[in-house]
């Protein structure tokens, strides 16, 4: 019986190991990349589950005449599931940003024909699942898409300089710079969506973007629906974590129809964001614009802390005949639901060039455009659902402060129709955030003005009060930037001085930075006004999002090796026990 059991054991282990090898779970590697020749040799038979280490800087100019474009690693059918490490050798200490790949030209030919033509999943990586990408810098990356590259109808989607689509993937200490230029204004049948400076879309829960940055420009000219455009990520689905990141990605969107969900960090964000800032401008030109914010456009179920924005948010009215509406526009977020703590709208202006008096603009705010307890994920053409009346606040964990917990620069320019007003508490009554005379409990958005002198060349404001566990440790993350027009906190790991313009905050240039707090007239025939807008239950016109444009969930193919091994061990035990009982019965 012992010999039989040993035989069963050996055969089972051998079979399990064989299946693991066939499944690719025991991938060879790591693979070291020290030249383009080595890289392309690996690409000829690429191990999508392998571990890759970049040990030298690479310049695409060296091979561009030979190869033309960089084709993304990973597709919807065969995702990249391994690791890619730009390799920090420790020479530059904690601020090391790894090796870099420069001057990449991303393919503009990743097009799938069919009943619903699709152009996308473009980046250094196309699609990842269960991957880890770390210590990698992509410098001066270029992607240009124009009418010549696409058909008359279809979808341009999932485009980012680092990755088109992430699923259960960690990006750690990664940095991108470059330009995404999409020009399809002569193709009214083309929809443009999920475009990000670093990542097009973070698809499912479990994705993390940490200690990362994006710099450059996103430029889109479209004649159709354009949505989910972000400086770091275009669309971040539930449970995405973005921490210790910044964007200096200038965003310009020009469409003759609808633009929505555009943000300096993320176009749409459902998750946790801590210690982030945006230092560039957002400019939208459209007939209808909805969900535009300096950090996030649409933020349902979001938690945001220790974040600030210095770039302008500008929404302009496109020319032509049609219905015009600009709604849910804010210095930090256009539409928000969740918790925001210690965030600062330091924009010089939040400017909406629509006719306010004609009803073309509403929900325009210094910090957020509107707080929506029930945000509907539909486009501008769906009538707005009325906000339910909020219950008065009560004592409990939500009541965390008797002071404003988010701030806007007191000199911010724009015409604001909707704002969260802090009301000092009376005896025995908790403070309220009031919007349209409807109270919302404290701990959500409460905002108040702050002068330039409180933020310029100072560190304490961005560290925040120690009122939430998420806030702790912030003091170790920040240092002061030393560029003359941006003397504000930046991340300790940033190697280079950030050259950005926040000169509107210089105390010496604006009378000590106290500001007037008065609105500047923006928009045709509009009187200067900070008055609250009409009832939020007023209707709006628009077109629903076509849910068929959103790809199906990604599932990694192949069984798990260790699960197989466990099953075989249990099988061995069962067989051995059966043989033992049979032997006992025979004797």
Give 204-254 as a DSSP string. STT-EEES-EEEEEEEEEESS-EEEEESSEEEEEEEEEEEEEEEEEEEEEE
Check residue 183 and give its pLDDT. 95
- Going by pLDDT thresholds of 50, 70 and 90, the confidence category of residue 419 is low
Within 13 A of 30's CA, how many CA atoms are on the CB side?
Answer: 14
If pLDDT is split at 50, 70 and 90, which confidence band does 6 have? low
Highest mean pLDDT out of 247-261, 445-459, 552-566: 247-261
Task: Rank 80-89, 131-140, 441-450 by mean pLDDT and report only the highest.
Answer: 131-140
With H, G, I as helix, E, B as strand and everything else as coil, classify residue 372.
coil
432-435 and 438-440 strand pairing: antiparallel
Residue 582 in any domain: the answer is: yes
Cα–Cα distance for residue pair 455/513, rounded to 1 Å: 9
pLDDT at residue 475 in the model: 60
Phi, psi at residue 397, to the nearest 5°?
Answer: -65, -25
CB atoms within 10 A of CB 56: 14
- Is there a contact between 307 and 275 (Cβ–Cβ < 8 Å)? yes
Give residue 246's region: left, alpha or beta (phi > 0; psi -120 to 50). Answer: beta
Residue 79 has pLDDT above 50, yes or no: yes
The helix or strand, by DSSP H or E, that contains position 3, with its residue range, turns out to be helix 2-23
How buried is 412 (Cβ within 10 angstroms: 0-12 exposed, 13-18 middle, 19+ buried)?
buried
Q: What is the pLDDT of residues 187-241, one digit of tens each?
A: 999 999 999 999 999 987 679 999 999 999 999 999 999 999 999 999 998 789 9
pLDDT of residue 206: 78
* Higher-pLDDT residue of 529, 489: 489
Distance (Å, whole) CA 566 – CA 476: 43
With H, G, I as helix, E, B as strand and everything else as coil, classify residue 86.
coil
Would you say the C-alpha torsion 477, 483, 486, 487 has a positive or negative sign?
Answer: positive
For residue 229, being part of any structural domain is answered with: no
CB atoms within 10 A of CB 584: 9
User: Does residue 392 have a pLDDT over 60?
Assistant: no
In a domain, 489, yes or no: no
Least confident segment among 56-70, 170-184, 368-382: 368-382
Order of all β-strands in the sheet with 432-435: 421-423, 432-435, 438-440
**Interatomic CA distance for residues 436 and 73, integer angstroms:** 51
Number of CB atoms found within 10 A of residue 256's CB: 18
pLDDT tier for residue 28 given thresholds of 50, 70 and 90: low
pLDDT of residue 146: 87
pLDDT at position 102:
97
- The larger pLDDT score, comparing residue 424 to residue 41, is at 41
Of 63-67, 254-258, 288-292, 570-574, the range with the lowest mean pLDDT is 570-574
Can you tell me the distance from the alpha carbon of 349 to that of 283, in angstroms, rounded to the nearest whole number? 11
- Say how far apart CA 87 and CA 26 lie, in whole Å: 22
Tokens 């690719």 belong to which residue? 24
- Name which of 518, 231, 220, 536 is nearest 349 in CA terms: 518
The mean per-residue pLDDT over the stretch 64-92 comes to 88
Q: Using one digit for the tens of pLDDT, what is the confidence trace for 427-450?
A: 433 333 333 323 333 335 667 889
% of the chain at pLDDT higher than 70: 70
The CA distance from 504 to 442, in Å, is 31
Q: Which two tokens stand for residue 288?
A: 């209808």
Residue with the bigger pLDDT between 380 and 141: it is: 141
Q: Are 76 and 110 in contact (CB under 8 A)?
A: no
| Higher pLDDT pick, 525 / 212 | 212
pLDDT of res. 5: 52
Q: Measure the CA–CA gap between 57 and 47, rounded to whole angstroms.
A: 22
pLDDT value of residue 413: 95
Does a structural domain hold residue 26?
no
Residue 573 belongs to some domain of the structure: yes
| Displacement of CA 167 from its chain's centroid (Å) | 13
At residue 437, the pLDDT reads 29
Q: What percent of the chain has pLDDT over 90?
A: 54
DSSP H or E stretch at residue 4: helix 2-23
Classify residue 140: in a domain, yes or no.
Answer: no
Cis peptide bond upstream of 35, omega within 30: no
Question: How many of the other CB atoms lie within 10 Å of CB of 528?
Answer: 11
Mean pLDDT, residues 150-157 taken together = 88
- Tell me the average pLDDT of the chain: 77
The answer to whether position 352 is within a domain reads no
Q: Over the range 335-362, which residues count as b (16 or more CB within 10 Å of their CB) and which as e?
A: bbbbbbbbbbbbbbbbbbbbbbeeebbb
Phi, psi of 586 (to 5 degrees): -70, -30
| 137 pLDDT higher than 60 | yes
Six-digit token string for 107: 């393919």
Average pLDDT of span 469-498: 82
Query: Residue 322, Cβ neighbours under 10 Å: how many?
Result: 12
130-139, 156-165, 219-228, 537-546: segment of lowest average pLDDT: 537-546
Residue 10 in any domain: the answer is yes
Is-contact 152 191, C-beta < 8 A? no
Q: Which domain holds residue 7?
A: 2-20+560-586
Q: Positive or negative CA dihedral for 114, 116, 121, 126?
A: negative
Q: What would the two tokens of residue 95 be?
A: 């601020």
Average pLDDT for 18-43? 74
For the residues of 25-81, what is the DSSP string, one character each?
-S---PEEE-SHHHHHHHHHT--TT-EEEE-S-EEGGGTHHHH-SBPPB--SSS-B-
Contact 413, 519 (CB under 8 A): yes
Which of 352, 347, 353 has its CA nearest to residue 366? Answer: 347
243: pLDDT strictly greater than 60: yes
- Going by pLDDT thresholds of 50, 70 and 90, the confidence category of residue 576 is confident
Q: Which helix (H) or strand (E) holds 301?
A: strand 296-309
The total of structural domains in the chain comes to: 1
Count CB neighbours of 553 within 10 A: 8
């Amino acid at each position: 019986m012992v010999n039989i059991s040993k035989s069963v054991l050996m055969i089972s282990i051998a079979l399990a190991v064989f299946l693991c090898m066939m499944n690719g779970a025991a991938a060879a590697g790591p693979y070291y990349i020290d030249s383009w020749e080595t890289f392309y040799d690996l690409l000829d038979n690429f191990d999508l589950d392998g571990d890759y280490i970049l040990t030298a800087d690479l310049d695409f100019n060296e091979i561009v005449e030979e190869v033309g474009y960089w084709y993304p690693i990973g597709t919807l059918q065969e995702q990249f599931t391994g690791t890619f490490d730009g390799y920090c050798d420790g020479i530059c200490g904690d601020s090391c940003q790894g090796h870099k790949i420069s001057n990449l030209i991303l393919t503009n030919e990743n097009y799938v024909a069919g009943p619903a033509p699709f152009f996308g999943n473009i980046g250094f990586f196309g699609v990842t699942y269960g991957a880890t990408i770390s210590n990698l810098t992509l410098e001066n990356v270029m992607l240009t898409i124009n009418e010549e590259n696409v058909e008359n109808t279809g979808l341009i989607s999932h485009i980012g300089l680092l990755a088109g689509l992430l699923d259960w993937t960690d990006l750690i200490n990664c940095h991108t710079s470059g330009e995404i230029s999409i020009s399809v204004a002569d193709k009214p049948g083309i929809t443009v969506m999920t475009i990000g400076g670093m990542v097009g879309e973070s698809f499912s829960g479990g994705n993390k973007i940490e200690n990362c940055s994006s710099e450059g420009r996103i430029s889109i000219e479209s004649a159709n629906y354009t949505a989910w455009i972000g400086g770091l990520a275009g669309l971040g689905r539930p449970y995405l974590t973005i921490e210790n990141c910044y964007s200096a990605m200038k965003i310009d969107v020009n469409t003759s129809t609808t633009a929505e969900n555009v943000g300096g960090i993320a176009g749409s964000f459902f998750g946790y964001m801590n210690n982030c800032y945006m230092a560039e401008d957002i400019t939208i030109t459209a007939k209808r614009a909805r969900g535009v914010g300096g950090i996030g456009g649409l933020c349902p179920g979001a938690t945001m802390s220790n974040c600030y924005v210095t770039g302008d948010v500008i929404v302009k009215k496109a020319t032509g005949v049609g219905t015009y509406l600009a709604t849910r526009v804010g210095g930090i977020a256009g539409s928000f639901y969740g918790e925001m703590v210690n965030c600062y709208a330091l924009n010089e202006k939040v400017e909406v060039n629509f006719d306010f008096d004609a009803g073309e603009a509403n929900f325009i705010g210094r910090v957020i455009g509107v707080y929506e307890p029930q945000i509907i994920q539909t486009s501008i053409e769906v009538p707005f659902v009325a906000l339910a009346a909020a219950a008065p606040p009560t004592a409990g964990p939500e009541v965390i402060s008797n002071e404003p917990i988010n701030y806007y620069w007191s000199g911010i320019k724009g015409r604001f129709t909707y704002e969260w007003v802090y009301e000092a508490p009376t005896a025995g009554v908790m403070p309220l955030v009031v919007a349209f005379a409807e109270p919302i409990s404290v701990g959500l958005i409460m905002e108040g003005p702050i002068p330039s002198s409180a933020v310029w060349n100072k560190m304490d404001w961005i560290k925040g009060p120690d009122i939430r566990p998420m806030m702790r440790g912030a003091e170790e993350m920040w240092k002061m930037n030393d560029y003359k027009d941006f003397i504000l906190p930046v991340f300790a790991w940033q190697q280079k001085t950030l050259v950005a313009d926040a000169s509107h905050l210089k105390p010496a240039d604006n009378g000590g930075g106290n500001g007037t707090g008065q609105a500047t007239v923006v928009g045709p025939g509009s009187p200067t006004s900070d008055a609250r807008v009409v009832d939020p239950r007023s209707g709006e016109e628009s077109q629903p999002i076509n849910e068929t444009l959103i790809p199906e969930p990604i599932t990694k193919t192949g069984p798990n090796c260790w699960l197989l091994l466990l099953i075989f061990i249990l099988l061995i035990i069962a067989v051995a026990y059966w043989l033992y009982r049979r032997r006992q019965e025979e004797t």
